[in-house]
A and B are shown apart, each in its own frame.
Chain A
Amino acid sequence: MNGYGFDLVGARLVALPSGALHWPEERCLAVSDLHLGRSERYARRAGALLPPYEVGDTLARLDADIAATRARTVICLGDSFDDLDAGALPEPAALWLTRLMAGRRWIWIEGNHDPGPVATGGEHRADLTLGRLTFRHEARAGAAGEVSGHYHPKVTLAGRGIRCFLVDGARVILPAYGTYTGGLKADDPAFCALMGPGALAILTGQVARPMPMPMPRGRNGK
């Protein structure tokens, strides 16, 4: 599947080129920052009427990843919905999501955009510990075996911005999976406080490719 495999505190994980994280041993798939309902939220708040295709676009990719990994557990790492009202998806999207959720364990981790339960099935958790790994929205300094999202990391390479995973011995930070999401450059100071030496950035795209995590300029080898 063109994924990139790595170990995190003894768990064998695969970063998929789509930006999802696969844990084959647990048949578990984690995605972060879907921001479903973003265009609807903008419209509701009298903002712009953005092209209303992002929910379908995001769900189509998630559908393909679930099908390919035959995941039994899906963990959405927060900011799954752009706000709590966005949980009321338009009917075709809601049906699609219901179909994806059917027959598997589905966990919604709370994020800053969706800090409470939304009107969708599944479990709602502040965080979740599964085996050796802890899943939460925003990384905590000093945590080990942690899978999180929130920051939307990306790197700029060969003149374009590419969403990426950030991985070191203690944690992995997932890229944003939602179509209507931006990114925070991986050399942002926010990341150096979290990531240890030797951290990797794993690029999404056609193939998940590792590269050393870029450090803030002027601080190489800090």
Chain B
Amino acid sequence: MRSLPAPFHDWFAARGWSIHPHQQVLLDRATAPATLLVAPTGGGKTLAGFLPTLVEVAGGTRTGLHTLYISPLKALAADIRRNLTRPVEEMALPIRIEDRTGDTSYTKRRRQRADPPHILLTTPESLALLLSYEDAPRIFAGLSRVIVDEVHALAESKRGDQLMLCLSRLQTLAPGLRRVGLSATVEDPGAIARFLARHPDPCEIVHADPGPDPDIAMLETEAPPPWAGGGGRYAIPEVLAEVRRHRTTLIFHNTRAQAELFFRDLWLANEEMLPIAIHHGSLAREARERVEAAMVSGALSAVVCTGSLDLGIDWGDVDLVIQVGAPKNVKRLVQRIGRANHRYNAPSKALLVPANRWEVVECQAALEAVKAHDLDGDPRGPGPRDVLCQHILIAACSGPFAADALFAEVTSAGPYAALSRPEFDACLDFCATGGYALKAYDRWQRLMLKGGLWTLRDPRAARDIRMNIGTITDAEMVKVRWQNRMGGAPLGEVEESFASTLTPGETFLIGGQVVRYVGLREMALEVTPAPGREPKIAVYSGTKFSTSTQLSQRILRMLGQESWPELPTATAQWLALQREVSRLPAPDRLLIETFPSEGRAHLCAYGFMGRAAQQTLGLLLTKRMEEEGLNPLGFVSTDYATLIWGLDPVPDPAALFDPAALREGFDGWLAGNAVMKRTFRNVAVVAGLIQRNHAGARKSGRQATFSSDILYDTLRRHDPDHLLMQVTREEALRGLVGFGRIEALLSRVGPRIDHLALSRVTPLAAPLFLEHGRVPVDGAARERLVEETAARLMAEAGLG
């Protein structure tokens, strides 16, 4: 066992602290090439990660960069810097610690490149940018350790894939580099370890004491949850009472729009003026930082928040977490619960607030899963090739490279360990020539082979490539700020699609305030306060998580019960009513209801496959209906069902579910649908085919820009096997689209498809009518509607 050097020992002793066992293990294993620490929040995880670094650098002879710390959040990097600086100053250690994110000033970033600190705290994107500079080899030459925080969260996204590619690059620049990953409790630590370690190095997994089980329950309310809808506003009196009873409460919501609505109504009811703030990813940085600072100083009773507070920052005094809306995923719920009570060995306290009666069922199932330690998660496939394309372009920015060497490097990254040479070469060809079947760019290749090394043809391209670094491709956002005469301070941002529906004078809700849209100025929405007006609600389509397979199965098993004594009466009655007028879905059967409503024929399929797969099912079914001449108009999906409406009723829905035909439809479905086009756009941005739109960079001449949909259609017609079409298809197959879940459902269900033709909407289908995210079907029926609408408008205008 390695003992702590004297200053550390004294520092711990002066606080009456002793080193945690897992901190000691990491110290003992300081020389291991890769280690993964799995620990609950509050377990001294970060210090465990940094302790070996502090001990190594404390000697004072060290110059240059020693440790790189990567976090998925900018705020976390800044927070860790503050937390680390304190012990370093108190022990008077000669260690320089700095953070570097998109928010760091230009001068500081330049200085950091010339004279790096001992410990640099940064994000995956800032690291990728650093690696794109010509002086990257000098900056990183002496790097000894890299700490990847919240590695479980990064491992679920392309950001993590990009980070692992960057680590493979770092390992070449600093061959002795050791890796440490810090993870929350996950269902498959082995997968995270393989993701993190240099392939094929081993990676030891260290488990910290998980602490006591959480104290978790459903919030009991006087008013029952509404039949449909989201937001949980019915529960506001009880939520306020809980806020009053606790020191600091985090109130989690699944979407920003719901957080905004809840926050507004919470304040309407907050007669005692309890200090309650709101925090989500679309608020201006200044606003978020104010909330974070107030939180740290203990000035707030509660914060209404979204996933923006899922990770990282140690809030210290939080003693209650309230989750509003179904948690969708048991693992994330457990991690959110962990935000409460950061003191080790004290149980976290959490309350669930289902937003409607359906979610009561899901919350109950999630509660039982948490108690049973039944975590969920779907394994992720190999690293996507659009991320690799970006990595190749970044490599070219930093200097000429040999294909063989880069291939060897790339396949040492966990997510790309199984990448074949032809796949790599296709990505390289895409970066160099566009990779088209029609060779058109001989003169204008992006990368040229010179003396066996790949080089940028035109060094000016480096600027665009650097501007485009990163794999986060959110919907296009428009900034919102106060009108100039009111100071012009930023409030946050809304999606461009929402902004385009606004007309001057209309009001909407942002940051808990009702504001009036005045006009568009320098690509920002200018607003004035409009208190008391009934606002529009900004729609943030953002990521909507799918309910996990495990949780869905639990729900289906619950529905099979004779009665539901554990559920509130209203919910139990609702389920009983569904059983009476139709029937309840079951694990090994597929229930399909058809009924007329609002003058359209409707079909509802209860697949319980999660939102993404239900969405795909909607696409496939409407395509089949189109082929059968059934005139579908559109559909909407939730985690448990897909509702399709059209001009004609479907006489035999079971026939639509023929697996062979669905699979064939899936292969042929690339015929322009909205989800695929959205997927393509993200892939094309990540791979560097199109530039993401940077705030303020957009020109006013809108007719000059054309949408990525046109590129998608062009490729589909002329080059359907192009690399980016392949990646789009793959992406569609996994994450976003989840065709795998549809196949699993079909094989599980077999011929057990129950069709009930009913005369009106059923209790279980009713909530779907209020769902957002309706997808139009671009088919014969819509052509007919365009014709009818144009004719009607002509007639109304007296022009027919």
Which A residues lie at the B interface, using CB under 8 A? 39-40, 43-44, 46-54, 56-57, 90, 151-152, 157-160, 162, 176, 179-184, 198, 200, 203, 205-207, 209-212, 217-218
Contacts and interface: CB of A to CB of B under 8 A. Distances in A.
Given A157-B789, A184-B703, A210-B794, 13 more contacts: A43-B434, A43-B444, A46-B446, A48-B689, A48-B690, A49-B433, A52-B434, A53-B719, A158-B786, A158-B789, A182-B705, A211-B790, A212-B799
Contacts of B689: 48-50
B688 interface: yes
A53 B718 CA distance: 7
Interface in B495-525: 503-505
A218 to B, nearest CB: 5
Contacts of A183: 702-703
B711 A50 contact: yes
A206 B783 contact: yes
Given A46-B464, A159-B776, A211-B790, A217 B503 contact: yes
Contact of A48 (B443, B691, B714, B797): B691
A50 B715 CA distance: 10
Contacts of A54: 714
B717 A49 contact: no
B11 interface: no
B766 to A, nearest CB: 24
Given A48-B690, A50-B711, A218-B505, A181 B706 contact: yes
Contacts of B702: 182-184
A208 to B, nearest CB: 10
A212 B718 CA distance: 35
Nearest to B438: A52
B503 A218 contact: yes
A197 to B, nearest CB: 10
A48 B688 contact: yes
Contacts of B719: 51, 53
A206 B791 CA distance: 15
16 contacts: A46-B457, A48-B464, A48-B689, A51-B434, A51-B715, A51-B718, A52-B438, A53-B715, A53-B717, A53-B718, A57-B714, A158-B786, A205-B786, A206-B783, A212-B797, A218-B504
Interface string B777-799: 01000110111011101101101
Interface residues of B, number: 50
B63 to A, nearest CB: 38
B708 to A, nearest CB: 10
A206 B779 CA distance: 12
A51 B722 contact: yes
Contact of B782 (A158, A200, A212): A158
Interface string B685-726: 000111100000000001111110011001101110010000
Nearest to A190: B703
B789 A47 contact: no
Contacts of A56: 718
Contacts of B787: 207, 209
Given A53-B718, A158-B776, A182-B704, A209 B790 contact: yes
Nearest 6 pairs of A and B residues by beta carbon: A49-B434, A52-B440, A182-B706, A46-B458, A43-B444, A152-B703
B793 A176 contact: no
A40 B444 contact: yes
A216 to B, nearest CB: 8
A181 B706 CA distance: 5
B441 interface: yes
Given A40-B440, A52-B434, A212 B794 contact: yes
Interface centre among B433, B703, B705, B710 (most CB of A within 10 A): B703
A133 to B, nearest CB: 23
Interface of B: 433-434, 436, 438, 440-441, 443-444, 446, 457-458, 460-461, 464, 503-505, 688-691, 702-707, 710-711, 714-715, 717-719, 722, 776, 778, 782-783, 785-787, 789-791, 793-794, 796-797, 799
Nearest to B444: A43
A53 B789 contact: no
A32 to B, nearest CB: 11
Contacts of B691: 48
A75 to B, nearest CB: 20
A151 to B, nearest CB: 6
A66 B776 CA distance: 34
B776 A46 contact: no
A209 B783 CA distance: 11
Contacts of B704: 182
B434 A209 contact: no
A212 B789 CA distance: 11
B438 A158 contact: no
Contact of A151 (B703, B718, B790): B703
A182 B707 contact: yes
Contacts of A182: 702-707
Given A151-B703, A184-B702, A211 B778 contact: no
Nearest to B785: A158
Contact of B778 (A40, A160, A179, A209): A160
A101 B702 CA distance: 31
B710 A179 contact: yes
A52 B782 contact: no
Contacts of A206: 783
Contact of A200 (B434, B464, B707, B799): B799
B786 to A, nearest CB: 5
Nearest to A153: B703
Contacts of A40: 440, 444
Contacts of B796: 212
A176 B703 contact: yes
A211 B794 CA distance: 5
A98 to B, nearest CB: 19
Contacts of A43: 434, 440-441, 444, 446
Nearest to A56: B718
Contacts of B785: 158
Contacts of B443: 44
A212 to B, nearest CB: 4
A222 B778 CA distance: 33
A147 B345 CA distance: 78
B777 to A, nearest CB: 10
Contacts of B715: 51, 53
Nearest to A160: B778
A217 B500 CA distance: 11
A164 to B, nearest CB: 10
Contacts of B791: 209
Nearest to B774: A159
A203 B787 CA distance: 10
A51 B464 contact: no
B504 A53 contact: no
Nearest to A92: B438
A113 to B, nearest CB: 9
A210 B717 contact: no
Nearest to B502: A217
B436 A51 contact: yes
Taking each of A53, A184, A218, which has the highest tally of chain B beta carbons within 10 Å of its own beta carbon? A53
Nearest to B433: A49
B444 A203 contact: no
Contacts of A198: 797, 799
Nearest to A201: B790
A157 B717 contact: no
Given A179-B714, A198-B799, A203-B790, A52 B707 contact: no
Nearest to A55: B440
Name the residue among B705, B711, B715, B791 with the largest chain A CB count within 10 angstroms: B711
Contacts of A212: 793-794, 796-797, 799
Contact of B440 (A39, A47, A160, A207): A39
Contacts of B799: 198, 200, 210, 212
A152 B706 CA distance: 11
A203 B788 CA distance: 13
A51 B710 CA distance: 10
Nearest to B797: A212
Contacts of A211: 789-790, 793-794
